[in-house]
Structure 1
Amino acid sequence: MEKMLKVGVITTTHGIRGEVKVFPTTDDPGRFKMLKHVILDTGKGTMQLEIEQVKFFKRLVILKFKGIDNINDVERYKRCELFVERENAVPLEEGEYFVADMIGMDVQTDDGVLFGTLKDVIETGANDVYAIASPVHGEVLVPAIRECVLDIDIEQGMMTIHLMEGLI
């Protein structure tokens, strides 16, 4: 399991006082209000930043970090990813999983035959869709609904699916 979970990507600066616009990669952008720290991945290393202020603008989160008060100090962090440590992640409800824990897991059919590997989780308006790379069928898109996804075992790294007619 991943030790750090991605919560956003810095897209650009905001104003001249060191604020940044962040594209959230979390289901609930409001979670930024509860965060005290994030970990910035600069590509060359990581650094922990204390969040001083959080605002929202359209689909973006505007963050101000403590000690960074100038646009020149944050320019270099454009396109850098923000993470939280797992222990600071939002608690999950039963039946919810972190996408980072699911990517790469094996997928088997309900008759126990290995079908492929989970490559991506696509968020749609109605329900998520799992992109599964199958050596036999290529990429197969499976809706994340109870009729199709029978079990997800994070510990074993295995998902069990039922292939409804028309999926392959």
Structure 2
Amino acid sequence: MEKIEIGQVVNVVGLKGELKVYHYTDYKERFEELSVILLENKEYQIDGVRYMKDLVILKLEGINDRNEAEKQKGKSVYIRKEDIRVLPEDTYHIFDLIGLKVIDENDRAIGTLSDVIQNSAQDLYEVETENKKKFLIPAVEEFILEINIDEKFMRIKLIEGLMDLDQ
């Protein structure tokens, strides 16, 4: 079974076994659509979902007290790959983007997409060159000319000062 990491248990809440989860999704209400999650490799039914600021509070079947909940701290939260949401056109899951070959408008190899940094303005794509240098490019259509998940590449428009390919 393939699984996708969507968060991490960062703490517990109360005495009844609720878990405080830092989520990696851009839509925390996504947890309300799920019936099952995995903590590491163990599957749990979701008995309840609520929120505390930006964190998700999960009540899972079989975790009924604080002591059992404490054992889950630090564990990664996953969903089964078949439970991922279908995204609108020109929208991508981060796990599909990481590792894409990055090329410029002249098909010159630039590097590999190594990370996606999410912030309030727009996402930033971190590109790592072959000589291990990194630079960021805004995830806007002015700079991102094409993303091809099937052929595993991203075509970008390099701008003056963004990076120096000769170094």
Asked if Structure 1 and Structure 2 have the same fold, meaning a TM-score greater than 0.5 normalized by the shorter chain, the answer is yes
Q: Which residue of 2 aligns with 1:23?
A: 22
The count of aligned residue pairs is 163
Q: Partners in 2 of 1:26 and 1:15 — Cα distance? A: 25
Q: Partners in 2 of 1:72 and 1:137 — Cα distance? A: 44
Runs of 5+ consecutive residues of structure 1 not aligned to the other structure: none
Q: Partners in 2 of 1:83 and 1:153 — Cα distance? A: 26
Q: Which residue of 1 aligns with 2:44?
A: 49
Residue in structure 2 matching 1:141, options 121, 128, 136:
136
Q: How much has 1:63 moved relative to structure 2?
A: 0.3
Q: Partners in 2 of 1:135 and 1:89 — Cα distance? A: 32
Question: Deviation string for 1:2-47 (max 9, x for gaps)?
Answer: 9322111100111111101000100100111111000111xxxx11
Comparing 66-75 with 27-36, which one deviates more in the overlay?
66-75
Which SS does the other structure have where 1:77 is aligned? coil
Q: How much has 1:135 moved relative to structure 2?
A: 2.6
Identity of aligned residues (%): 34
Matched, 1:96 2:91: yes
Q: Which residue of 2 aligns with 1:36?
A: 35
Q: How much has 1:165 moved relative to structure 2?
A: 2.1
Q: Partners in 1 of 2:65 and 2:97 — Cα distance? A: 39
> Residues 100 and 137 (structure 1 numbering): CA distance in 2 closer, same or farther, change over 3 Å?
closer
TM-score by length of 2: 0.93
Question: Structure 2 matches for 1:102-117, cutoff 5 A?
Answer: 102-117=97-112
TM-score by length of 1: 0.93
Q: Partners in 1 of 2:44 and 2:39 — Cα distance? A: 7
